[in-house]
Structure 1
Amino acid sequence: MAAGLGVLTPSAAAAGRRVLPGDSIQEAVNFARPGDIITVMPGTYYENVLITKRVTLRGYGARTVIKPPVTATTPVTPVNPGTPVAPPEPGATGAPVPSGAAAAPVAPAAPGAAANGRALTCSQADTGICVMGTAEQPVVGVDIRSLTVSGFKRNGIWASHTDRLSVQRVIAEKNGTWGIAQERSTRGLFRDNTARDNAESGLFIANTVDREGGATDTLGAVVRRNTLTGNRIGVTVRRVRNLAVYGNTATGNCGGIFVVGDEGDPGAGDMTIRNNRIHENNKFCKGNSRLPDIQGVGIVLTGAEETVVRANSIRGNVGASPLSGGILLFKSFVGATNTDNVIQDNEVRDNKPADLANQGTGSGNRFLNNRCESSVPAGMC
Structure 2
Amino acid sequence: MAIHVVPTDFLTVQDAINFASPGDSIQLLDGTFDGFVVPNNKPRLKIFGEGIGESIIAGAPLGSFGIIVLADRTSIQGLTVQGFALGGVQINSDSNILKDIESVLNMGINTEGFELNGQNNLCIRCTSRQNDFGMTINSGEHNFIYQCIMQNNEFGFFSVSNNNKLISSEIKENNSFGIILLAFTTLFGSSSLRNGAIGIFVIFNNNTIIENIVWDNDTGIQLFFFGENVIDSNIVRKNDINGGIFVSAITMDNVIRFNKLKLNEPFDLISANINNIFDGNRCESSNPPGLCI
TM-score for the superposition, normalised by structure 1? 0.65
Q: 1:370 aligns with which of 278, 281, 285?
A: 281
Equivalent residue pairs, number? 266
Q: Which amino acid aligns with 2:49?
A: V
In structure 2, the gaps of 5 or more residues are: 60-65
Q: 2:116 aligns with which of 159, 165, 170?
A: 159
Report % sequence identity: 21
Per-residue Cα deviation, 1:177-211 (whole angstroms, up to 9, x for no partner) = x10101121001111001001112x111014xxxx
Preserved contact between residue 208 and residue 230 of structure 2 (Cα < 8 Å):
yes
Counterparts of 1:22 and 1:358 in 2: how far apart (Å)?
A: 52
Structure ID, larger Rg? 1
Pair 1:58 & 2:77 matched: yes
Q: Which amino acid aligns with 1:234?
A: G
Correspondence for 2:46: 37
Correspondence for 1:183: 138
TM-score for the superposition, normalised by structure 2? 0.84
Per-residue Cα deviation, 1:112-145 (whole angstroms, up to 9, x for no partner) = xxxxxxxxxxxxx42111112xxxxxx2102112
Preserved contact between residue 340 and residue 363 of structure 1 (Cα < 8 Å):
no
Pair 1:18 & 2:27 matched: yes
Correspondence for 1:68: 83
Given the superposition, is the C-alpha separation of residues 11 and 49 from structure 1 closer, same or farther in structure 2, using an over 3 Å criterion? Answer: closer
Counterparts of 2:212 and 2:164 in 1: how far apart (Å)?
A: 16
Q: How does 1:1-381 map to 2 (within 5 A)?
A: 3-4=9-10, 14-20=23-29, 21-26=31-36, 29-30=38-39, 33-41=42-50, 42-47=54-59, 48-54=66-72, 55-59=74-78, 64-69=79-84, 125-132=85-92, 139-153=93-107, 154-160=111-117, 162-176=118-132, 178-200=133-155, 202-207=156-161, 218=162, 220-231=163-174, 232-238=176-182, 240=183, 242-254=184-196, 255-260=198-203, 268-281=204-217, 295=218, 297-319=219-241, 324-331=242-249, 337-359=250-272, 362=273, 364-381=275-292
Q: Which amino acid aligns with 1:271?
A: N
Given the superposition, is the C-alpha separation of residues 165 and 195 from structure 1 closer, same or farther in structure 2, using an over 3 Å criterion? Answer: same
In structure 1, the gaps of 5 or more residues are: 70-124, 133-138, 208-217, 261-267, 282-294, 332-336
Q: Which amino acid aligns with 1:128?
A: G
What SS does the corresponding residue of 1:233 show, helix, strand or coil?
coil
Counterparts of 2:141 and 2:105 in 1: how far apart (Å)?
A: 27
Correspondence for 2:62: none
User: Shift in Å at residue 280 of structure 1?
Assistant: 1.4
What SS does the corresponding residue of 1:228 show, helix, strand or coil?
strand
Per-residue Cα deviation, 1:320-341 (whole angstroms, up to 9, x for no partner) = xxxx21011124xxxxx21100
Q: Which moved more, 1:297-306 or 1:43-52?
A: 43-52
Counterparts of 1:252 and 1:328 in 2: how far apart (Å)?
A: 17
Counterparts of 1:35 and 1:43 in 2: how far apart (Å)?
A: 21
